[in-house]
Structure 1
Amino acid sequence: MIPLPRLTSWPENPPAPGRHLLLLPEGVVAEEVEVLAISRFAAARWERPPRVPMSRRDSAAQPTPGVLRLGRLSTLTGPFGVEPAVAARLGAPGDIVAAWPVDVPRERATTPAIGGDRDGLRRAFGDQQPVREEGRVLRWLVDVARRLGGAVRTDTGAVLVPEMDAALDLTVLSDRWVEPHVVLAAARRVAPQARADAPVTTGERLPTVTHTGQVLVERPDAGIGVEDPEERRRLHAEADAFDAWMVAHPPAAEGFGVLIDLGADGAVSVRAETEGELPLVLHGLEWTQGEVVAYRVTWEPPELEELEAEQPSFAHRVARGRAAQVVRSIAREVQSDVGGEVADMAGFLVDPAEL
Structure 2
Amino acid sequence: MTASVPPTPVEESRARHRLQLPRDTAPRDVLAMVRNVRPGATEREDGTIELGDDMLLEPDHSPRGAGRWTVEAPRERELPLPEGMTDSHGYGRAFPEGMPFGLEREALDLAWSLGRRLYGAVVTDSGVRLEPHPFQVRDLTVVSPHALAPESLAQLIAPVEADAELDEAPEGVARTGYSLTIPLPEGEEISLRVGLGTRPVALSALDWAEDAAHYELVHLTADPEEDALEVPSNEVAERWQHAYQRIGRLAGLLLESVGGYIVDLEGFLVDPADLL
Q: TM-score range by the shorter chain?
A: 0.7 to 0.9
Displacement of 1:118: 0.7
1: CA distance, partners of 2:30 / 2:42: 11
Displacement of 1:122: 1.3
The one-letter amino acid paired with 1:258 is L
* Residue ranges of structure 1 left out of the alignment (5+ in a row): 1-12, 49-64, 87-96, 206-250
Displacement of 1:151: 0.5
Partner of 1:70: 51
2: CA distance, partners of 1:168 / 1:82: 36
Displacement of 1:347: 0.7
1: CA distance, partners of 2:85 / 2:265: 18
2: CA distance, partners of 1:264 / 1:33: 37
**What does the per-residue CA deviation read over 1:63-109, in whole Å, with 9 as the maximum and x for residues that have no partner?**
xx5111011311111144574xx9xxxxxxxxxx5211122110112
Displacement of 1:112: 5.2
Partner of 2:145: 175
2:69 equivalent to 1:100: yes
Distance verdict in 2 for CA 1:38–1:68, change over 3 Å? same
* Residue ranges of structure 2 left out of the alignment (5+ in a row): 1-5
> Which stretch of structure 1 is more off in the superposition, 299-308 or 113-122?
113-122
Displacement of 1:318: 1.6
**What does the per-residue CA deviation read over 1:142-161, in whole Å, with 9 as the maximum and x for residues that have no partner?**
00000000011111211110
1:66–1:79 contact (8 Å) kept in structure 2: no
Q: Structure 1 length as normaliser, TM-score? A: 0.69
SS of residue matched to 1:182 = helix
Displacement of 1:34: 0.4
2:184 equivalent to 1:262: yes
Displacement of 1:182: 2.3
Match of 2:253 among 308, 330, 333: 333
Q: What RMSD, in angstroms, separates the aligned Cα atoms of the two structures? A: 2.5
Partner of 1:288: 209
Could you list the structure 1 runs, at least 4 aligned residues long, displaced by more than 3 angstroms after superposition. 13-17, 79-83, 111-116
Distance verdict in 2 for CA 1:177–1:106, change over 3 Å? same
Displacement of 1:327: 0.7
2: CA distance, partners of 1:343 / 1:173: 8
2:16–2:71 contact (8 Å) kept in structure 1: yes
Displacement of 1:334: 1.5
Distance verdict in 2 for CA 1:313–1:303, change over 3 Å? farther
1: CA distance, partners of 2:203 / 2:47: 25
1:117–1:308 contact (8 Å) kept in structure 2: yes
Displacement of 1:301: 2.1
2: CA distance, partners of 1:306 / 1:317: 10
**What does the per-residue CA deviation read over 1:1-25, in whole Å, with 9 as the maximum and x for residues that have no partner?**
xxxxxxxxxxxx9996401111001
> Which of the pair has more CA radius of gyration?
1
| Number of residue equivalences | 265
Q: Structure 2 length as normaliser, TM-score? A: 0.87
Distance verdict in 2 for CA 1:193–1:47, change over 3 Å? same
SS of residue matched to 1:162 = coil
Partner of 2:228: 308
Partner of 2:244: 324
SS of residue matched to 1:130 = coil
Match of 1:124 among 67, 91, 94: 94
Partner of 2:3: none
Question: What percent of counterpart residues are identical?
Answer: 29
2:186 equivalent to 1:186: no
1: CA distance, partners of 2:243 / 2:209: 30
**What does the per-residue CA deviation read over 1:195-233, in whole Å, with 9 as the maximum and x for residues that have no partner?**
1112478xx57xxxxxxxxxxxxxxxxxxxxxxxxxxxx
Partner of 2:121: 151
2: CA distance, partners of 1:47 / 1:200: 55
1: CA distance, partners of 2:35 / 2:17: 19
